Amino acid sequence: MCGRAYALFTEADLATRYLKRRPATLGEFTPTANLAPTQLTPIVREVNGARELARLRWGLVPSWAKELKIGASMINARAETIAEKPSFRVAFRQRRCIVPLSGFIEWQRDGTRKRPFAIYREDRAILSVAGLWDRWADTDGDEVQTFAVITTEANGFMAPIHGRMPVILEPGDEDAWLSADTGPEALHALLVPCAEGRLAAHEVSSLINSPRNNAPELLEPVGDALP
C-alpha cells in the first residue's frame, strides 16, 4: 500500500509541469513533508477536454457511501481489481486523475522493526501517480471531493522494501490516462510497475510515522541509501 507521501513543490511548479504554464487556481497550498490520508493535496484531472488542478481529500469516498469516514480505509485502489470493485469501477471509467508527489514513504519490515524509506524519482522530478477521484455529499448537500492512489506489484527496486508500489505514469502516458476517450484495454496497460532505473530511496527518521510531525528534516537520510 501507499499510506504516506510528500509534496514539496509549489503551485507554480505544478502549473509549469501539467498546465503548460497556464495559471493555477488552487488557492492556499502549502508544500508538505508528511502527507497523510484524509488530508488535502493537489490532483490533476481533465474536465471538458482541458486539464485542471484541484485540491482533494486523500481517501476515496464513493458517491453512494453513507459516511465520509469510509475514505480512511480506501486510500489505495489495487490495479488488479480496480475494474470490478464497486467502490472504484465507476471512477476508473469516468474519473481518473494524476496525483503529483515529490515522493512517497514505505516501511520495510526488519524483524520486529518497520523502517521508513523515502522513495522518489532519481532525477527528483515530480512523480505522476495514477489515481481516481469521486464526489460525495452529506445529508445537507455539502460536497466533498476525494481520491485514491492506484497501486500495483512492486518492481525489482521496490521489492526489498515493500511488495506494492504506486502506479507511476511516464510523461508520455499522462494524456491517455486522463482522456475520456481511452478504452479499458489501453488503461489497464498503463497500470504496471514503473521501469527499473527510475527510482531512488533512502531511510528516513521514524518521526515521520506520526502525521503530527511535518518538517523537511523528516526526509533527510538516516544511514545509507538503498543500493
pLDDT at 227: 59
Q: Is the residue at 64 inside a domain?
A: yes
Task: Retrieve residue 97's grid coordinates.
Answer: 486523475
Domain count, the chain: 1
Residue 180 above 80 pLDDT? yes
Q: How many residues in total does the chain contain?
A: 227
Whether residue 14 is contained in a domain is answered as: yes
User: Alpha-carbon distance 7 to 160, whole Å?
Assistant: 24
Specify the pLDDT at position 206: 94
Is the pLDDT assigned to residue 124 strictly greater than 80? yes
pLDDT per residue over 187-202, tens digit each? 999 999 999 999 999 9
Q: Which range marks the domain in which residue 38 is found? A: 4-219
Return the pLDDT at 112.
87
When pLDDT is averaged across residues 217-225 and rounded to a whole number, the result is: 85
Q: Which of 2, 46, 174, 194 is catalytic?
A: 2
224 found inside a domain: no
- Give me the mean pLDDT over the 71-85 stretch: 94
Q: What is the dihedral of CA 166, 210, 38, 68, to 10 degrees?
A: 120
Annotation marks residue 2 as catalytic: yes
Inside any domain, residue 45: yes
Residue 97 appears among annotated catalytic residues: no
pLDDT band for position 174 (50/70/90)? very high
pLDDT at 224: 62
Q: What is the mean pLDDT of residues 98-122?
A: 95
The enclosing domain of 102 has a CATH number of 3.90.1680.10
71 falls within a domain: yes
Q: Is residue 227 part of a domain?
A: no
Please report whether residue 18 resides in a domain.
yes
Share of the chain above pLDDT 70, in %: 94
Distance CA 165, CA 222 (A): 22
Q: Which residue has the higher pLDDT, 48 or 130?
A: 130
pLDDT of residue 24: 64
Per-residue pLDDT tens for 14-37? 999 999 866 666 766 789 999 999
Which of 46, 97, 106, 194 is labelled catalytic?
106
What pLDDT shows up at residue 29?
Answer: 78
Q: Would you say residue 225 lies in a domain? A: no
For 94, the grid coordinates are 469516468
% of the chain with per-residue pLDDT over 90: 79
pLDDT, residue 142, reads 86
